Amino acid sequence: MSAASSPGYPFQEVLEQAPLTYVRHLLGDSACSLLDLLSGGAADEALLRKVAASAVSAEAVMADPEDRSAFLALVPAPKRRELAQRLGWDGSASEDAFLSKVEWSAEQKRTLFGFLGLVVERASETRVSPRSSATPAYGLFPHQRRAASRVHKLLYSGERRAVLHLPTGVGKTRTGMNIICDHLRAHEPTVVVWLARGRELLEQAAGEFERAWGALGNRDVSVVRMWGDTPADLEGVTDGLVVLSVDKAVAAAKADPSFYDRLALHTTLTVFDEAHQAIAPTYSRVVEALTLRRDASLLGLTATPGRTWADISADEKLSEFFARQKVMLEIDGYDNPVTALIEQGYLARPDFRTVAASSGMELSAADRRAVAATFDLPEGMVEALAANEQWNLQVVRTILDLAEEHRRIILFAASVEHSRLLVATLSALGIDAEQVTAESPPRHRDKVIARFKGPSSKPMVLSNFGVLTTGFDAPAASAAVIARPTRSLVLYSQMVGRVIRGPKAGGTSTCDVITVIDPDLPGFGDVAQAFTNWEDVWSNR
């Protein structure tokens, strides 16, 4: 048997054979005195050796050069020679001389402990890194943080009103929730009211706040949902967020004239989502009623800080309502932040295309005057296009082509009936197509939207009319077909925004936006241009 494979000499056997004086030395005076007291005199040999077998640390003995030398001297000479051989003894000196000069590196110590039959258990040594990264549970991108900081200065001084203008798909809701959480932490107790229209937009806000406060909050607060059939009950609401439909607010005030006063009593921040709607007379009265307190602030959130694309008087009125104070993204080196956000991966790079469908419609002089006089196409004209077979043929062909390369496609129809016809046609052609409209039962809408957001290798088309332009987040959607003609830059921007989320925000690197047009009617095609359309009526901060 070679020296390397022989059994060595057990540590415990050395203790069993060692002189009793040595055993007492290893135990120490304190331990020996304790054992003597317990024995009523000098402890007997068996007790001392038994306690030493458990209490004496082999590591401690081997760590001290004098104790180690004394211990090894008790090992029988043949075994000392064997140990020396394991440690690399070349025979040029005696094994004892060699053992006295060993440097006892970490590897040599492991060899020694193995020779003594010991497995030394110790907590693993974790190397402490001088630097590490801490990831926030509800963080913001740098451009969002800079915008939020500028908003903060405007909300707590001067007019205490401001609009946060972020391009669609850049996270205005998330940025707004960070601002709300900051406000709630700094003003305890207090109420923040979130005003919006549409079930999806309201539920998105409530759910997003619960996620945000779960990461950023410092106490339990109320989250009160007030829309649809939910009661407008303010009992005990003194701290937290009230997510309130503006239509519900109007109805509640009619039923109870004190509703606004009771809500405003505790409200120090009102947030109006889709702020371009705020100056509608009914809605502006709600906002003004909730911001009567001297310390009350008003924040508007929007991707389109204007009412129209051409009526500067309406846009001026909106600007005045928010004290002409707007915070927009600023990214060094870029005149237009949308271009930067696309290049940096926060927004998808959109490919805007139009497909022409000759409807054969002849616009009368009255029709042309109607188009010129309104901010969108007359309803009758849209309905006529939606019923036109050439128009719909082009819509269906466009979707069939997109389904070859896109897994999730959003279709914006011109009416409920139009959506129903297109979905039925696509389904008959083997395309997985569903629709949601304002008439869809909530359970059906939730189920269809969840399936659209879920993973699947099979293409799916989600058609809608009037419900997915805001408050809908499906990052996997990479194509939009706009089959609803519009002159509204606000509406067009909102539709485009459903597919423009970039890879850094969980979306796609590119997206296709196909607008079906009649060449005689105007359309839009550049979201970057839309972002800066209203700058002349605002004072950007």
Q: What is the pTM of this model?
A: 0.63
Q: What percent of the chain has pLDDT over 70?
A: 85
3-state SS class at 23:
helix
Better-predicted residue by pLDDT, 66 or 517? 66
Residues 333-361 have a mean pLDDT of: 79
The residue ranges of every structural domain in the chain are 11-115, 142-328, 348-527
Pair of tokens at residue 17: 């054979």
For domain 142-328, is the CATH number 3.40.50.300?
yes
Least confident of 88-92, 279-283, 380-384, 536-540: 536-540
Helix (H) / strand (E) element for 303: namely: none
Better-predicted residue by pLDDT, 224 or 528? 224
* Domains 142-328 and 348-527 in one fold: yes
What pLDDT, on a 0 to 100 scale, did the predictor assign at position 309?
45
Provide CATH code, domain 348-527: 3.40.50.300
Pair of tokens at residue 124: 């693993």
pLDDT, tens only, 285-339? 999 999 988 999 999 988 776 545 445 566 788 888 888 898 987 787 777 777 8
Could you tell me how far CA 316 lies from the centroid of its own chain?
A: 35
What pLDDT, on a 0 to 100 scale, did the predictor assign at position 246?
92
What pLDDT, on a 0 to 100 scale, did the predictor assign at position 387?
76
Residues 466-470 have a mean pLDDT of: 64
Better-predicted residue by pLDDT, 260 or 199? 260
pLDDT, tens only, 145-163? 999 999 999 999 999 999 9
CB 377 within 8 A of CB 521: yes
pLDDT at 536 over 70: no
Helix (H) / strand (E) element for 479: namely: strand 479-482
Q: What is the DSSP string of 318-352?
A: HHHHTTTEEEE---TT-SSHHHHHHHTTSB-EEEE
Interior angle at CA 248, CA 245 and CA 250, nearest 5: 115
Better-predicted residue by pLDDT, 316 or 243? 243
What pLDDT, on a 0 to 100 scale, did the predictor assign at position 521?
59
